[in-house]
Amino acid sequence: MFPSQGPPDQGGGDLEARLRGLILSNANTTPPGTGLPAPSAPPTQLQSITPSKQQENPAAAVQGGDLEQSSFASRKRPNQAQRRQMNSQLSIPIDTRPIPGAQAGRGSFGQQGHSPWGPSSYQGQFHNHQNQRYQNQQHSPRFQNPGSGSPYSPRTPFPQVSPQSPMHNHQSGPSSQFQPRHHNQFQQQQQQQQQQPGPFARPPAQNRQLYQPGPNQGQGRGRMFPQNGEEIAIQSAHLENLVQERVPIMGIDSVEEAEKEEFRAVVEKVCQAAIAQYEKEDLGNDKFDTSTVELQCFGSLKSGFATKASDMDLALLTPKSNPAPDCPESPIPRLLERKLLDLGYGARLLTRTRVPIIKLCQKPTEKLLSDLLEERAKWESGFVAEPEGDEEIHDSETPDETKERPEMQSTGNQASSTTSATEVVHPKSRRESSDQKQIAFRQKNEQSLGDYYNSAKRLLKKLGGRDLTSTSPDLSEEEGRVLNSVCKAFISGLSSEALSTRLCKYNSIAPLFDPSLPPVQRTLQGIWNQVEGERLAMAWESRPLTESDDKQEYECLTIVEAWRTLQDKHGPLTESSIYNRQLYTASEKLKKISSLQLLFLEQIQYEDPVFYHGRALKIINDLKTRDQPNSGDYVTPIIIAHYVAGVSNNSIREILQNSPHAGATLQQIALHHRALQLAIDYEHALKSSYFEDCDRGIVEEYVSLLRSRNFYRQNVPTESEINFVAKIRTLPDPTQVSPNKPRDRYKDHLEFPKTDIGIQCDINFSAHLAIHNTQLLRCYSHSDPRVKAMILFIKHWSKVRGINTPYRGTLSSYGYVLMVLHYLVNVAQPFVCPNLQAVNHNPPAYLPPAEVEARTICKGRDVRFWRNEAEIKNLSERKMLNHNHDSVGVLLRGFFEYFAQNGQMSTVGNKGFDWGREVLSLRTVGGIVTKQEKGWTGAKTVIETSTIAAPPTPSTVPEARSKPEASPGEQAEEVKTPKLPVKTMEETKEIRHRYLFAIEDPFELDHNVARTVTHNGIVSIRDEFRRAWRIIRSIGKPYEGQEGRLLDPVTSRDDNKSGLQELLTMIHGAAPKSKAAYQEIQT
């Protein structure tokens, strides 16, 4: 069937025949370690069996003789089970194409000692790392060098072209594994592979399919699909032009760098003087060496990735101070803040960050400096403000993100700055037993239920307790008692006594008030859901309107009855999280009942009248009877009455109630509501000096026009009114400072402006790891000139698109730096940068032991990496670190494609990033670990309590002793102030760790660099990557430019005023379109 053209040992026979012989000879082989008989020898080995071995193993001799004397056609065909077993064990590659590594000039297997710069031990480390992604990769089309590769080039695990290889004289044709070879040569090579597995050895044959890649080939994650090369070239050229146009003007220049260095030197002298004075006068350390105090620069300015007008990151190092300045009880941060304020600088100490930092500006405005001094005076007087809501998280371009603020658990309803509920707590201490605590907690008449719930959460925190969630650890016995006490007070303090009495009768709540019943562990979140739902269910009988038809009415009644059954659940509630989900689901169904929505129709705090009108309009449409077209005649007046009664502003509500709106539509009422709110916004803007003095008269006149206008009849605007309104359209938008807008929790009067205050910097008191991290990034910037260009471009793109602000729920600039490096190290093919934490990372042996330790461990973290900048730059200039010759445009295109979709990529043999399952890990071989492996599968709230330096009080400040008057001829003795211990206090931080987007820090492996990214933040980030990828793919197409340009700002001034212009059109009609009319208005 398959005739042989000659004996196998003589090189005869075709490929298929030889494969059949190998398959048949290995039909009875078994994987090693299974305890089964060892595999039989291949046909080429049977000729070497000696007579003695034939006597010991006659079966082998007979089999070998038969194989030599018979043809392939006479052999028995293996059955299906044998073929499956052979396929799982066969490891002979059948791809006859030349090995990609050999084509690309990636070096040879036998030439490991030819590196001109160092020992071959570095090569083994590096190749073992890089083989995982690049064994089957596509190589740069621009690379034409057929010579030997650099010592950092990834090599395939199969032997490549070398003088010692059988393929040395072959330029094309099938792989050497299929060429006839002598049986001794085959046996010798097989023994070498078994004895020397190494990083370049062939993967083991067991448990592998014929077409299945080996274990070193898993990172490719898919095959490449053909793409239009011309389109890719056009898109890459466009991005290349953008880089050449923008990057030169984005980076920091030498003049600005020199100015910042000069300011750093000045601040360093101030810090040295202040710390020396504290050490010598307060601590009595007369031998303190001032020169040991340093203010080192780190972060983007030091790593080479700084942009113009970026903040400067400074690390305060004073190793001789005890306690160290990064210790919570150290007074050094407060001393420096006081000293810098006295010198006229703008300084603000932030203690609720990951580590304390001082925000510093060179030339603060008079108001800013006054506010900072006032805040400092409050602290010195003992006033410490309690944070509310989400803590501020300052943007960070530093590697360790020390400027991130710890976050409080966010709430759905923004509360006011003062607590609306009455809280009276009389514990002797926070750890006192909850049985001795007396809690009086009442809801005010006009306080919303959401605000009341927020007040209960703050009270629970003050009592040292916490709520129980699905991701939080189990409660202690004391925490459980505190939580139940607050839940009980929450129900007792409701403003509606009927609601409170009704709830206490249910079996799920009664044990909180009756100790004789079996105890239950409730959660504050569950109690809040229960109160919300019961309030709706109680109003079922008092609805002014029923549902639109009988079927809908019956379905809603079923929902109400199911809620009451769930409320009266019997037995102990051991699974609070499950019961909470049931309560939440049932209460959400109640909230969707239109007739109940009408009964509780109220304008939420800070809700825009447009959205309030939209909710009322939906209720009208849902309650109109479908079979009676005229049912709106009696439905609309009822809904209008509830709409007016639910307006939050008292003055607007009174005007609407007293206006002649008989027979009016809901749209007319809503327009009147919006006009009155606009008048209030203009009045507030006038008080805030929002307009120029020359425009105040026009604004006041327009406010009078809005309040006197009749919105319930047809108004025909006169020519003078049209011209007057056209002038109003040119003024700034007053809704930007409207009192009806929620307070921006990320901004306060102490926030530094972006410009006009000179150089800004951040003094960090615990930056030891950050300094190592900065040096790592600096070495990456030296490894290839394209690294800096790509990072500057991505930082600029993320800034103009508004997704690089961590305190607003997006990602810091440092996070984008790690994303770019991940792509260049692990995804680009061939790689652009070697993994510096996997290559030559051990410190040189000639260094002193102390230096070796400093380069190995820092604060318990492994900080080893290849940090020889001179060597990296030298190899980079000689183009010996990589074989990737792609342009920056090609790399940028691949970067956006990688993060925009998780399917197969078009230019590399890889799939896109899986945001939901994967973690970016720059230190890891391959660059990816899973969230499951890290345990980063759900958000966690961590409560940290630390001891900090307390503000000085009169009791701790020694009274100044007057010096006794010296008699003539005598010298007065100097009276020294006695040394007092540092007063401390406890500070509690509630930190929210999110893992919606996960980036592992290169050194702090338990720190997620992207922990600040919220749900809205990751939606914005992914949307921007998808938008960028759509724009890139549209380049050169007919629909190019429909979504704008890649670097268009995310917002513009016209967008902010679009809502105001639309409202003015609804009130007064369209604006004049002629240019002459506008010129006449301006004159």
pLDDT digits (tens, 9 = 90+) for 443-473: 887 788 888 998 998 888 888 888 887 777 7
CA angle at residue 239 from 234 to 240, to 5 degrees?
Answer: 95
500: Cβ–Cβ under 8 A, 6 or more apart, which residues? Answer: 491, 492, 494
Cα–Cα dist 492/200, whole Å:
73
Average pLDDT over residues 762-778: 93
Q: What is the pLDDT of residue 992?
A: 79
Buried b (16+ CB within 10 A) or exposed e, 908-939: bbbbbbeeeeebbbbbbbbbbbebeebebeeb
Q: What is the pLDDT of residue 179?
A: 39
H or E, element range at 440: strand 439-442
Percent over 90 (pLDDT), the chain: 42
C-beta separation of 573 from 466 below 8 A: no
| Residue where the block lists tokens 């059954």 | 565
Q: What is the pLDDT of residue 562?
A: 93
101: Cβ–Cβ under 8 A, 6 or more apart, which residues? Answer: 107, 154, 155, 156, 160
Average pLDDT over residues 734-738: 88
Cα–Cα dist 737/691, whole Å:
11
Per-residue pLDDT of 1024-1075, as tens digits, reads 999 999 999 999 888 888 889 999 998 644 444 568 888 999 998 887 665 4
Amino acid at 786: R
Average pLDDT over residues 851-861: 93
Cα–Cα dist 728/706, whole Å:
12
Q: Are strands 984-993 and 999-1000 parallel, antiparallel or unpaired?
A: unpaired
Collapse the DSSP code of 331 into the 3-class scheme (helix H, G, I; strand E, B; otherwise coil) and give the result. coil
Amino acid at 5: Q
| Residue where the block lists tokens 């027979």 | 663
Residue 119, number of CB atoms within 10 A of its CB: 12
Q: What is the mean pLDDT of the chain?
A: 75
C-beta separation of 58 from 180 below 8 A: no
- Residue 484 scores a pLDDT above 70: yes
State both tokens at 6: 């000659």
Question: What are the residue ranges of helices labelled H in 310-448?
Answer: 332-342, 366-380
Cα–Cα dist 641/714, whole Å:
23
Cα–Cα dist 1021/896, whole Å:
12
Q: Are strands 999-1000 and 918-921 parallel, antiparallel or unpaired?
A: parallel
Cα–Cα dist 46/745, whole Å:
82
Q: What is the pLDDT of residue 952?
A: 63
State both tokens at 227: 């793409």
Torsion 645-650-652-656 (CA) sign: positive
C-beta separation of 274 from 333 below 8 A: no
Cα Dmax for the chain: 131
Torsion 229-230-231-234 (CA) sign: positive
- Residue 974 scores a pLDDT above 90: no
C-beta separation of 352 from 989 below 8 A: yes
Average pLDDT over residues 648-662: 90
Q: What is the pLDDT of residue 717?
A: 79
Amino acid at 394: H
392: Cβ–Cβ under 8 A, 6 or more apart, which residues? Answer: 405, 745, 746, 807
Lowest mean pLDDT among 82-91, 499-508, 563-572, 688-697: 82-91
Torsion 873-874-877-882 (CA) sign: negative
Q: Which of 995, 818, 1029, 828 is nearest to 915 (CA)?
A: 995
Q: Model confidence at 189, in pLDDT bands (50, 70, 90)?
A: very low
- Residue 907 scores a pLDDT above 80: yes
Cα–Cα dist 806/1011, whole Å:
9
Q: What is the secondary structure of 533-587 as a DSSP string?
A: HHHHHHGGGG-SS--SSHHHHHHHHHHHHHHHHHHT--S----HHHHHHHHHHHH
Collapse the DSSP code of 623 into the 3-class scheme (helix H, G, I; strand E, B; otherwise coil) and give the result. helix
Per-residue pLDDT of 291-312, as tens digits, reads 999 999 999 999 999 998 889 9
Average pLDDT over residues 150-171: 37
Per-residue pLDDT of 435-447, as tens digits, reads 444 576 788 877 8
Q: Is the peptide bond before 399 cis (omega within 30 degrees of 0)?
A: no
Cα–Cα dist 852/41, whole Å:
52
Lowest mean pLDDT among 38-47, 232-241, 363-372, 650-659: 38-47
Cα–Cα dist 755/853, whole Å:
43
Q: Are strands 422-425 and 918-921 parallel, antiparallel or unpaired?
A: unpaired
Q: Model confidence at 573, in pLDDT bands (50, 70, 90)?
A: low
| Residue where the block lists tokens 């080429």 | 44
Torsion 477-483-486-492 (CA) sign: negative
Give the pTM: 0.66
Cα–Cα dist 762/107, whole Å:
47
Q: Which residue has the higher pLDDT, 102 or 661?
A: 661
Cα–Cα dist 318/186, whole Å:
66
Q: Model confidence at 829, in pLDDT bands (50, 70, 90)?
A: very high
Average pLDDT over residues 546-555: 91
446: Cβ–Cβ under 8 A, 6 or more apart, which residues? Answer: none
State both tokens at 700: 């006041």
Q: Which backbone phi and psi does 1045 adopt, to 5 degrees?
A: -105, 165
Q: What is the pLDDT of residue 476?
A: 85
Q: What is the pLDDT of residue 429?
A: 40
Q: What is the pLDDT of residue 981?
A: 57
Q: Which of 533, 641, 557, 544 is nearest to 595 (CA)?
A: 544
C-beta separation of 349 from 384 below 8 A: no
Q: What is the pLDDT of residue 714?
A: 83
State both tokens at 343: 């010198």
Average pLDDT over residues 242-270: 93
Lowest mean pLDDT among 61-65, 817-821, 878-882: 61-65
Q: What is the pLDDT of residue 407?
A: 37
694: left (phi over 0), alpha (psi -120 to 50) or beta: alpha
CA angle at residue 250 from 1028 to 1016, to 5 degrees?
Answer: 40
Q: Which residue has the higher pLDDT, 575 or 767?
A: 767
C-beta separation of 773 from 812 below 8 A: no
C-beta separation of 210 from 87 below 8 A: yes
Q: Which residue has the higher pLDDT, 832 or 176?
A: 832
State both tokens at 508: 């799920």
Average pLDDT over residues 481-506: 91
Per-residue pLDDT of 56-71, as tens digits, reads 444 433 343 443 444 4
C-beta separation of 899 from 893 below 8 A: no
Cα–Cα dist 558/898, whole Å:
50
Q: What is the pLDDT of residue 264?
A: 95
Distance of CA 918 to the CA centre of its chain: 13
